[in-house]
Structure 1
């Protein structure tokens, strides 16, 4: 079992990244609930939800705004937060939000918890049924990613706005370096469908060519509120 550092004291617990996707305006409520369970804080990102987007477009309704809350937590804190969020925000009901957690091997700089040893105790990944797929592309290309993924069996995604700073990412405007805007597409996928979905994305946007984007896949330890 790896050791975590909580408020200056070591504890024998695994450490996770806890991610909660909720409607716009609810991110602060998520943080407040999680602080009551011992989690020291988190980061809130703005994004867009895409489940049912074709129906929204047909009805001429604007894209649904989302807030993505990212927090570091020990196993005990994560379980307490999951229970509190599920009860308060009704995450087990459709369209009330999504929660998932990913086990970490290393974590530094968190007041809540620091970890520098590989997770070796409880095998949190045994029996997991979902994976998180992250695709980072130039702004405007997220739609192509989502279309390819949905044709291969994905059931929606969250788009997060970002900026790029890699070797292929900078340009100049009036002699000033400009970081192009990026979009991060986040999808939680049934594990058996991951290969077909990632293959479809790679083929659709030419992901194997330099500068076209980055995609990575991680195992998810637990999910709430997917469908």
Structure 2
């Protein structure tokens, strides 16, 4: 039987071009693999159209690592990139409950402390991100990050396949725990999200750097 270990999924959101620097630092710390995707530092449609001119494009780095390594790595990357400064980025880790590489392993997270910061993830049909963020801001959210997931030429491959547009959008909002429920309620009530247009869930975050106070 494999020994239960704690694993984390690390997300680091940094200005465009910094993602490769993050991966290089990860390798130096013994974390060999990671991916970089593109996102936007806002969910405002007009700003997204002008994103490159305004420097709003973000690299989204995703890495899975043992929790003890994640803690050391995130502290290092926060120092290197100045994540406490406005516009420099944000980083956090969430628990991995099950990990499949060569076999499925159950992660033991019973000893983890309750988190004071949580991540709200909304996966929605194309075109709904602006209403999501407007609703979230009305309840105290400081901002969010938008990822557009290309589902391909066939709209039927989208998570919400009845639309004519084959893209899904993912909005990440990082917030302190006391504001998460009001934000989610505002999104549900004011954005028009329902089972046909989106799904929303919350995860505890830890080792958080760059969150506005």
**Shorter-chain TM-score above 0.5:** yes
Q: CA–CA distance in 2 between the matches of 1:81 and 1:144?
A: 35
Tell me which protein shows more helix as a share of its residues.
2
Aligned mate of 2:35, from 29, 32, 43: 43
Structure 1 counterpart of 2:113: 125
In the superposition, relative to structure 1, how do residues 120 and 50 fare at CA in structure 2: closer, same or farther (>3 Å)? closer
Q: CA deviation at 1:50?
A: 2.2
Q: Partner of 1:104 in structure 2?
A: 96
Is residue 95–residue 109 contact of structure 2 (8 Å, CA) maintained in 1? no
Could you tell me how far apart the structure 1 residues matched to 2:134 and 2:189 are? 12
* Pair 156,120 (structure 1): closer, same or farther in 2 beyond 3 Å: closer
| 1:88 and 2:83 matched | no
Displacement of 1:183:
1.0
* Aligned residues: CA RMSD: 2.8
Say if 2:189 is the partner of 1:203.
Answer: yes
State TM-score, norm by structure 2.
0.84
Q: TM-score by structure 1 length? A: 0.79
1:136/1:36 Cα in 2 relative to 1: closer, same or farther (>3 Å)?
Answer: same
* Pair 1:109–1:151, CA change in 2 (3 A): same
Measured in 1, the distance between the counterparts of 2:13 and 2:109 equals: 29
- Does the alignment pair 1:214 with 2:202? no
Alignment match of 2:143 (pick from 133, 136, 156): 156
In 2: Cα distance, 1:157 partner to 1:78 partner: 23
- Unaligned runs of 5+ residues in structure 2 are 152-156
Q: Is the 8 Å Cα contact of residues 205 and 212 (structure 1) preserved in structure 2?
A: no
Q: After TM superposition, give the deviation of residue 201 of structure 1 in Å.
A: 0.5
Aligned-residue offset at 1:204:
1.9
Distance, in Å, in 2 between the alignment partners of 1:120 and 1:77 is 15
The Cα of 1:106 is off from its aligned counterpart by 0.6
Alignment of 1:3-14 (within 5 A): 3=3, 13-14=5-6
User: CA offset at residue 170 of structure 1?
Assistant: 5.6
Q: Tell me what 1:144 maps to.
A: 131
Cα distance change of structure 1 residues 50 and 19 upon mapping to structure 2, 3 Å threshold:
same
Please list the CA deviations of residues 2-45 of structure 1 after superposition, one character each: whole Å capped at 9, or x if unmatched.
Answer: 83xxxxxxxx6410001100001111110000111111111111
1:72 aligns with 2:72: no
Shift of 1:120: 4.1
- Where in structure 1 are there 5+ consecutive unaligned residues? 4-11, 173-178
